[in-house]
Amino acid sequence: MKWKQQVALVCLALAFGGPAWAAGDDHEDEHEDEPITTISPEVAKDHGIVTDHVGPATLRRTVKTYGRVVVPSSRISHIRARFGGLITDVAVDVGDTVKAGDLLATVEANTSLKQYQIKAPINGLVTQRHANAGEFADEQALLTLVDASELWVELRVFEGQLTDISTGQIVTISSATQRTDSVIQTILPSMDEHPFVIARTHINNSTGVWGPGMFVEGDVVVEETEIPLAIRTSGLQTMGDELGVFVQEGDRYEFKPLSIGRSDGRISEVLNGAASGTQYVAGNSFLIKADIEKSNVEDDH
């Protein structure tokens, strides 16, 4: 168990003061006791216990693809001198952020011997510099600007996936630390006769959390099915040999076994065990389970 979860369990145990155990009947040989605990709303909020309601949901079938983040060619600018001449000043360096219209360099033209300024055509980051004062500017790129606020993700789609994937489909892009939804906009042939095509999708990177060259996964939604009763899969826990959720009624949390049908990893279908509208713990339910199990062990001793 991760150390953050261990700390949370200790704090939660102190806050709960242990669970209550409610007998299902006066005759213990006929009915087993059900695990129940009581938690105040303040404690539940402080420990990130999230609830949801059993109800209709959309089950998604997805196809997993892999690819990488790239900068659109329209957002890369290679800066050159308009007229050959002597570079008298370079105002920026690699790593500097500039806005369209900012001064980049000054050049003295060979023919007129007059100085003219080179300004940024786009907003962006200076990623390359091949110019210094005193050098001669001809046809070479002096600077390279990259605007990474809008990026493409290029996903590889192999032959066996082509019948499922097309433009307009929703795709979830995820890296080790980030996740976002987008839509497949174009499907392009691969260069160099690779055995795949490229599904290209757009992501907003105004916050700078995605980096060009980053390797990512793409989960393409290829089929959607409406189901009448569902829960978030994150709420499922096991108690003994039974799979279920912790149902909330006021301050009271009780484990209820469920019969689960189809699942897409996010959503699981409820076949039996809970009615529509039932409030259950969808996030951090492991804290409630651990508290009940801990008290059960203590009671045995």
pLDDT digit string, tens, across residues 74-95 = 999 999 999 999 999 999 999 9
47 three-state secondary structure: coil
261 three-state secondary structure: strand
Contact 19, 35 (CB under 8 A): yes
Task: Spell 182-192 as b/e; 16+ CB within 10 A means b.
Answer: bebeeeeeeee
Q: Which of 28-42, 155-169, 192-206, 220-234 has the lowest mean pLDDT?
A: 28-42
pLDDT of residue 290: 82
pLDDT of residue 299: 60
According to DSSP, the residues that pair with 245 across neighbouring strands are 256
Contact 120, 108 (CB under 8 A): no
pLDDT, tens digit, 9 for 90 and up, residues 111-134: 999 999 999 999 999 999 999 999
Percentage of the chain surpassing pLDDT 70? 86
Please state, in angstroms and rounded to a whole number, the distance separating the CA atoms of residues 147 and 125.
6
Question: Higher pLDDT residue, 190 or 129?
Answer: 129
Q: What is the mean pLDDT of residues 37-51?
A: 90
Nearest by Cα to 103 from 128, 74, 79, 75:
79
pTM as predicted: 0.68
Nearest by Cα to 118 from 136, 152, 143, 150:
143
User: Which element (helix H / strand E) includes 263?
Assistant: strand 259-263
Q: Is residue 183 scored above 60 in pLDDT?
A: yes
According to DSSP, the residues that pair with 2 across neighbouring strands are none
Q: How confident is the model at residue 1 (pLDDT cuts 50, 70, 90)?
A: very low
Q: Which two tokens stand for residue 43?
A: 């404690």
pLDDT, tens digit, 9 for 90 and up, residues 220-260: 999 999 999 999 999 999 998 999 999 999 999 999 999 99
